Amino acid sequence: MIPPKQNAAFVACMEDILDLYQQPYDPECPVVCMDEKPYQLLGQTRQPIPMKRGRPKRQDDEYIRNGTCCIFLFTEALTGWRHTSPQEHRTKVDWAHQIQRLLEVEYPDCPKIRLIMDNLNTHTTASLYEAFPPETARNLVKRLEIHYTPKHGSWLNIAEIELSAMTKQCLNRRIGSITSLDKELATWEKARNSMQKGVDWQFTTPDARVKLKRLYPQIKM
């Protein structure tokens, strides 16, 4: 949802993100977007009847609620890479461990990562200090350059596009356990990464200053 009226805080964050998307690819300092979504695990009450010629797959209308989990997603749009990780919880410590993995497993040789995400209360460098000893936390912090999307500006996060694709392509059926979900997501991730499916972001700061002019404060000279 875009604010209905002038909002300097919104446009400041928006232009920061849009300018970042226009930067040329830098393998030493890649731009990575992250987001997360809750997911309801649903089990079957009866074994589904497999699809046959002329007859679609059939399953019982009843299902078993097996609790919820959280799916973390990271994506680098310019290279067509993404990584998903389902977790039982969405705490500060869970987020911190995801960031540690991003830096130490996915990008161990990059001096710095430019990370785009929303300003959820778990998405702060303080979370790293709640999960790791201060020396480890500080080393992780020094490799992060964080850029927050504005409030009501989730559409500016490319990770939202990936979450939408993931939901349509991988989560369009019942999945009853976090173990099964992890396998399904890993298969989807591997296939999509092999195709290097990136995002060609076209909306720029000059575009925003015209199309979203109403959001910019009117300066009296």
pLDDT of residue 219: 87
Within a domain: 3: no
**DSSP assignment string, 4-70:** SS--HHHHHHHHHHHHHHTSPP-TTS-EEEEEEEEEEEEEESSPPBPPBTTB--B--S-EEEEEEEE
For residue 143, give the nearest of 189, 101, 89, 190 by alpha carbon: 101
Domain containing 88 equals 8-215
Query: How many contiguous H segments (helices) and E segments (strands) does the chain have?
Result: 7, 5
pLDDT of residue 6: 92
Length in residues, the chain? 221
In contact, 163 and 82? CB cutoff 8 Å: no
pLDDT of residue 77: 93
How many domains in the chain?
A: 1
Within a domain: 220: no
Q: Where are the beta strands (DSSP E) in 127-195?
A: 144-148
Within a domain: 46: yes
Within a domain: 138: yes
Cα-Cα-Cα-Cα dihedral sign, residues 197, 198, 200, 201: positive
Within a domain: 1: no
Residue 80, both tokens? 């067509």
**DSSP assignment string, 51-69:** PBTTB--B--S-EEEEEEE
pLDDT of residue 43: 65
Which ranges of the chain have pLDDT less than 70? 43-52, 54-63, 66
pLDDT of residue 172: 83
Domain of 98: which CATH number?
3.30.420.10
pLDDT of residue 67: 85
The model's pTM: 0.88
Q: Determine whether 77 is exposed, middle or buried from the number of CB atoms within 10 Å of its CB (0-12, 13-18, 19+).
A: buried
pLDDT of residue 20: 96
